[in-house]
């Protein structure tokens, strides 16, 4: 059996036995109550009687950032031991702490992706935690040091404790710390003996460092904080849990089983490694320790302290105003209704991502996996996104991704035009650490299912004998819809303003589906009269995508685009034609979006539902990106849709559910028109005259008249007010 003596500045004694690398180890701890003479006495008595001596909380060297300085008492202890000829190795954790903490952060991040991502970190303290600091900063968007507040009770002033100021103050800070007793340098838990600034702790998401310092000097309220410490005991965990902390990460290896609580400090682990080394003549160098640590098989202990946090997968979703009216409806921006719409629309585009709400209540009936979402909004309408270059939107989406990570999301979905701009999410995914999906795979699956149901309800008995048109066929959604529809219906018309891509898509469909009849065109109007189903999936706005007056009696138009391609006034001209939205989805559970997303309660857009579904399945990966949606992804997401018991919502047309009576009336009128060609011709003629009076406005947006430019001076002031207000709201 190996024997280790641990001496710390505390009080009392205790003995425990552990197993490490198949060896039994007896660890005897003695509290010196800060008396250096007692420490020296125990070192002399233990010389040659134990395999290693650990001086916990009694470092020989102090390190803060890149600066190092010898501690007065710690140095004297080592010098005295050398003069007395002490042969037993004396360690204080400095040989293994940085390496183990770096490794532990890496392992914890792999096991719990996003646990440290984009969080605001305060090191409490950063002293002798250089490895932990440098590893966390790889994940963190902001880091601060609590050392000035903990050790010297400095006020919370601008720049105090910042990483930028560390290089200037580290050396004088260490010089002052070197003269302090061990109990001050390594504080234990207890009631604070002096007030400490609370704001730096309150602003942080992660409190990292020593559990004793955090328990003593952090505010009582630790609600939603993540505590990352070298080690912790069950008593430590109970304390921070009672104070509202959400997660505790203990970095040192547990000695019971893989992932068990690491309740021993780095000094003890260093002593264990020294005692258990195969060759006692090996020098106690960094290389020796690295070699010994390489044999460890462990993961740091991650404990969720709140029942509502454990086992919850989180996602984020980004929406944006479809038109300027949505900006006016925001409770913080109601005053914008008194400004010209063009001015508000142009200015709102510059606003940072806005946190809207928390999405709660989603749960899989199949697996029991709970899911929560975070809803964000950009300020730009589709027209403003098209007015600016791609980088304009990318920058704001990347900022939303960082904010989502900070709030615990591990995948983010792109809603409406955010999934259309540029390369459809590829650049955003490359620049973000969080997984990204456009949601278009489930959008396609839900659209086709909704279209199928609508065509059947309108009286179709054999879909394989019908004809379908896809407008916007060369787009990301349109192309995969066309390929899948060709496998089911065989007679497809592809419409796009991109002739070269149309030819390429036609060849692909004919290769995939031999026997399919494929017609291509750049304009839809002359081919509409033969089509039973029309799917529109364009990114056009301020245009007329389809001349509904030319449609076949009883045709179904499935408008996939968001914002929609078809304007309500246009659809009203043909009461026999059924215009539906792309398939909306019912997410299982008591779902609450916390915000009006423009759909009935508990009803989700398919792109949002895909993001939620991937989180429910634990698939935190870039899923649907780019213009070329893979058909296998569409089929796979539909299988997951069925697995977790998502359901298609009822058919909707312009925000209202389509009732059985509505469908029956349209079917009856369509049948009458098919049997009366003269009445059909008269209806087409009259509706065409009325259509000419309706402005072309796909996406519900008319072309801008440019009057916003005369308001340029006011825009700056309004924009500044909006950005400041919404930034505060986001924080």
Q: Quick: pLDDT tens for 431-486.
A: 888 899 999 899 899 989 999 899 999 988 777 788 999 999 998 888 999 999 99
Residue 625 lies in a domain: yes
pLDDT at site 514: 92
Residue 714 lies in a domain: no
For residue 173, what are the domain limits? Answer: 97-267+282-304
Domain end position, chosen among 91, 109, 138:
91
Q: Both 128 and 9 in a single domain?
A: no
Residue 693 lies in a domain: yes
For residue 703 the two structure tokens come to 């072309």
Q: Is 539 helix (H, G, I), strand (E, B) or coil?
A: coil
Q: Both 558 and 661 in a single domain?
A: yes
* 728 or 648: which leads in pLDDT: 648
pLDDT at site 712: 39
* 636 or 338: which leads in pLDDT: 636
CA atoms within 13 A on the CB side of 439: 36
Q: Tell me the per-residue pLDDT of 363-378, one tens digit each, with 9 for 90 and over.
A: 999 999 999 999 999 9
H-helix segments, 294-340: 324-329
* Percent of the chain scoring above 70 in pLDDT: 94
Q: Both 471 and 416 in a single domain?
A: no
Q: Is 155 helix (H, G, I), strand (E, B) or coil?
A: coil
Q: Both 52 and 108 in a single domain?
A: no
pLDDT at site 442: 93
Domain end position, chosen among 91, 111, 133:
91
Domain with 579 in it: what CATH number? Answer: 3.40.50.720
Q: Both 667 and 638 in a single domain?
A: no
Q: Both 163 and 299 in a single domain?
A: yes
pLDDT at site 705: 45
The helix (H) or strand (E) run that includes residue 314 is: strand 312-319
* 297 or 18: which leads in pLDDT: 18
Q: Both 169 and 70 in a single domain?
A: no
Residue 275 lies in a domain: no
Residue 708 lies in a domain: no
pLDDT at site 731: 44
Residue 726 lies in a domain: no
Give the chain's end-to-end CA distance (angstroms, integer): 55
Q: Both 570 and 635 in a single domain?
A: no
Q: Residue 61 pLDDT > 60, yes or no? A: yes
For residue 647 the two structure tokens come to 């359901």
Residue 549 lies in a domain: yes
pLDDT at site 239: 94
Q: Residue 57 pLDDT > 80, yes or no? A: yes
Average model confidence (pLDDT) for the chain? 87
Q: Directed axis angle between helix 286-293 and helix 266-276, to 10°?
A: 90
Q: Both 210 and 345 in a single domain?
A: no
Whether the model clears a pTM of 0.85, i.e. scores above it, the answer is no
Q: Residue 425 pLDDT > 90, yes or no? A: no
Confidence band (pLDDT; 50, 70, 90) for 521? very high
Q: Is 77 helix (H, G, I), strand (E, B) or coil?
A: helix
Q: Both 227 and 172 in a single domain?
A: yes
Q: Tell me which of 257-261, 434-438, 629-633 is least confident.
A: 257-261
CA atoms within 13 A on the CB side of 94: 20
pLDDT at site 669: 95
Average pLDDT for residues 151-156, to the nearest whole number?
87
Residue 492 lies in a domain: yes
Q: Residue 540 pLDDT > 60, yes or no? A: yes
Return d(Cα 501, Cα 479) in angstroms, integer: 10
Q: Both 219 and 336 in a single domain?
A: no
Return d(Cα 419, Cα 606) in angstroms, integer: 13
Taking alpha carbons only, the member of 172, 170, 123 closest to residue 149 is 123
* 203 or 563: which leads in pLDDT: 203
Domain count, the chain: 4
pLDDT at site 307: 73
pLDDT at site 86: 92
Q: Residue 232 pLDDT > 60, yes or no? A: yes
pLDDT at site 259: 73
Taking alpha carbons only, the member of 161, 164, 130, 166 closest to residue 146 is 161
Taking alpha carbons only, the member of 262, 651, 158 closest to residue 450 is 651
pLDDT at site 192: 60
Q: Is the peptide bond before 611 cis (omega within 30 degrees of 0)?
A: no
Q: What is the CA radius of gyration of the chain?
A: 33
CA angle, 352 then 353 then 358, to 5°? 150
CB 637 within 8 A of CB 583: no
Q: Is 437 helix (H, G, I), strand (E, B) or coil?
A: strand
* 321 or 541: which leads in pLDDT: 321
Q: Tell me the per-residue pLDDT of 698-728, one tens digit each, with 9 for 90 and over.
A: 555 555 444 434 443 344 444 444 444 444 4
- Look at the block and give the residue holding tokens 């606003």: 351
Q: What string of H, E and C letters represents the secondary structure of 183-239? A: HHHCCCCCCCCCCCCCHHHHHCCEEEECHHHHHHHCCCCCCCCEEEECCCCHHHHHH
Measure Cα distances from 39 to 34, 211, 272, 442, 629 in Å. 8, 23, 20, 67, 69
The helix (H) or strand (E) run that includes residue 691 is: helix 677-692
Q: Both 138 and 218 in a single domain?
A: yes
Collect all residues with Cβ–Cβ distance below 8 Å to 619 and sequence separation of at least 6. Answer: 411
């Amino acid at each position: 059996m190996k024997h280790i003596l641990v001496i710390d500045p505390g009080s009392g004694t205790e003995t425990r036995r552990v197993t490490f690398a198949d060896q039994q180890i007896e660890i005897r701890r003695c509290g010196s109550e800060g008396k250096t003479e007692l420490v020296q006495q125990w070192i002399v008595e233990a010389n040659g009687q134990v395999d290693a001596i650990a001086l916990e909380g009694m470092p020989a060297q102090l390190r803060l950032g890149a600066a190092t300085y010898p501690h007065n008492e710690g140095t004297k202890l080592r010098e005295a031991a050398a003069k007395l000829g002490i042969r037993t190795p004396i360690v204080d954790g400095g040989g293994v702490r940085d390496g183990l903490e770096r490794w532990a952060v890496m392992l914890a991040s792999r096991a719990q992706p996003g646990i440290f991502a984009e969080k605001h970190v305060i090191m409490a303290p950063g002293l002798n935690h250089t490895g932990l600091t440098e590893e966390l900063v790889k994940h963190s968007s902001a880091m601060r040091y609590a050392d000035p507040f903990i050790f010297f009770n400095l006020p919370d002033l601008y720049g105090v404790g910042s990483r930028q100021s560390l290089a200037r103050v580290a050396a004088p800070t260490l010089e002052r710390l070197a003269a302090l007793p061990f109990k001050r340098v390594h504080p234990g838990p207890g009631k604070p003996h002096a007030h400490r600034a609370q704001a730096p702790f309150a602003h942080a998401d992660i409190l990292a460092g020593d559990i004793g310092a955090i328990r003593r000097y952090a505010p009582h309220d630790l609600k939603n904080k993540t505590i990352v410490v070298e080690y912790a005991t069950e008593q430590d965990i109970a304390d921070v849990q009672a104070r509202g902390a959400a997660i505790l990460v203990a970095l040192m290896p547990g000695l019971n089983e893989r992932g068990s609580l690491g309740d021993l400090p780095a000094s003890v682990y260093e002593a264990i490694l020294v005692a258990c080394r195969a060759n006692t003549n090996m020098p106690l160098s960094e290389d020796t320790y690295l070699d010994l640590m390489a044999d460890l098989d462990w993961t740091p202990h991650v404990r969720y302290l709140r029942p509502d946090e454990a086992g919850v997968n989180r996602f984020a979703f980004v929406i944006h105003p479809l038109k300027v009216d949505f900006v006016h409806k925001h409770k913080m921006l109601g005053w914008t209704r008194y400004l010209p719409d063009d001015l508000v629309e142009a200015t709102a585009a510059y606003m940072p991502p806005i946190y809207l709400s928390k999405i709660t209540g989603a749960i899989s009936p199949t697996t029991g996996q709970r899911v929560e979402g975070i809803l964000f909004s950009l300020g730009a309408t589709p027209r403003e996104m098209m007015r600016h270059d791609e980088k304009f939107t990318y920058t704001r989406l990347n900022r939303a991704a960082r904010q989502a990570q900070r709030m615990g999301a591990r995948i983010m979905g792109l809603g409406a035009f955010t999934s259309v701009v540029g390369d459809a999410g590829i650049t955003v995914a490359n620049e973000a650490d969080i997984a990204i999906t456009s949601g278009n795979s489930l959008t396609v699956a839900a659209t086709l299912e909704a279209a199928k149901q609508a065509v059947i309800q309108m009286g179709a008995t054999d879909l394989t004998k019908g004809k379908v048109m896809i407008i916007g066929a060369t787009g990301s959604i349109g192309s995969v819809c066309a390929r899948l529809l060709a496998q089911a219906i065989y007679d497809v018309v592809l419409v796009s303003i991109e002739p070269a891509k149309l030819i390429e898509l036609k060849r692909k469909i004919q290769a995939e589906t031999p026997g399919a009849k494929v017609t291509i065109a750049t304009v839809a109007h002359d081919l509409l009269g033969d089509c039973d189903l029309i799917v529109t999936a364009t990114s056009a706005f301020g245009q007329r995508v389809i001349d509904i007056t030319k449609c076949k009696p009883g045709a179904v138009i499935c408008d996939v685009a968001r914002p929609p391609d078809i304007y309500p006034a246009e659809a009203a001209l043909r009461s026999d034609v059924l215009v539906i939205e792309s398939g909306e989805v019912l997410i299982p559970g008591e779902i609450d979006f916390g915000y009006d997303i423009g759909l009935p309660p508990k009803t989700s857009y398919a792109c949002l539902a895909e993001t939620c579904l991937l989180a429910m399945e634990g698939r935190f990966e870039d899923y649907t990106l780019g213009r070329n949606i893979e058909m296998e992804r569409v089929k796979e997401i539909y299988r997951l849709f069925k697995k977790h018991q998502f359901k298609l919502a009822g058919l909707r047309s312009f925000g209202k559910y389509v009732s059985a009576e509505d469908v029956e009336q349209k079917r009856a009128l369509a049948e009458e028109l098919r049997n009366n060609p003269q009445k059909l011709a008269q209806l087409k003629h009259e509706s065409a005259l009325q259509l000419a009076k309706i402005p072309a406005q796909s996406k519900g947006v008319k072309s801008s008249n440019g009057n916003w430019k005369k308001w340029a001076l006011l825009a700056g002031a309004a924009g500044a007010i909006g950005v400041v207000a919404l930034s505060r709201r986001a924080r």
